[in-house]
Amino acid sequence: MTSSIRPRSINLERTSVQVIGEETLLYDELNHKAWCLNRSSACVWRLCDGQKTVSQIAVAAATELDAPMTAEIVMVALDELREKNLIEPDIATILPEGVTRRELIGRAGLAAAALLPVVASVLAPPAHAQSGTFTGSARHRR
C-alpha cells in the first residue's frame, strides 16, 4: 500500500515546539491549542515537509527511530495529525477509502505496537491565566 500524498506540517511560525524526554509538545499560537506527541508521531510530524511521500517518510522514520516503521503506521500517524490539524489541511483524507485505523494497525503487526502513534490533546490555559493577574472578584470564606 503506497500513497502519493506529500503531507506538510502546520506553519512553524505559529507553532511553539518543546521536546521533553521522549515526547514533543506542540502549541498552536493561532488557535491556542496544545498537543503531546509520542516519539513516533513526533518523528512523522517533523518529516512532513511537503516533499516526502508516505513511503519516504516511513523509510526516514525507520532510520531515525531505529525501528521497523511501515507505511501503514505512518498513515495512522498522518490521519491523527490531520484530525488534530497538525498537518496542512489540503489533504482531505489519508487512509484509503474503506480502510480503518484498526485495519492498518492490524496490517502493521504486533511488532509495531511500540511505534503506534499517539497525539494527545493537552488543556492549555488562556494566556491571561498564565500572567499571574486576576481580573475577577474573590470571596474568602471563614
Query: Within 10 A of 136 (CB to CB), how many other CB atoms are there?
Result: 4
Question: How far is 91 from 6, CA to CA, in rounded Å?
Answer: 9
Question: pLDDT for 47-56, tens place per residue?
Answer: 999 999 989 9
Domains of the chain: 12-125 (3.90.930)
* Residue 41 to residues 75, 79, 139, 142, Cα–Cα distance (Å): 10, 11, 45, 50
Instruction: Please tell me the predicted confidence (pLDDT) of residue 19.
Output: 93
Handedness of CA 57, 63, 65, 67 (dihedral sign): positive
Enumerate the β-bridge partners of residue 33: 28
Task: Tell me the per-residue pLDDT of 11-65, one tens digit each, with 9 for 90 and over.
Answer: 777 788 999 998 999 988 888 889 999 898 999 999 999 999 989 999 999 999 9
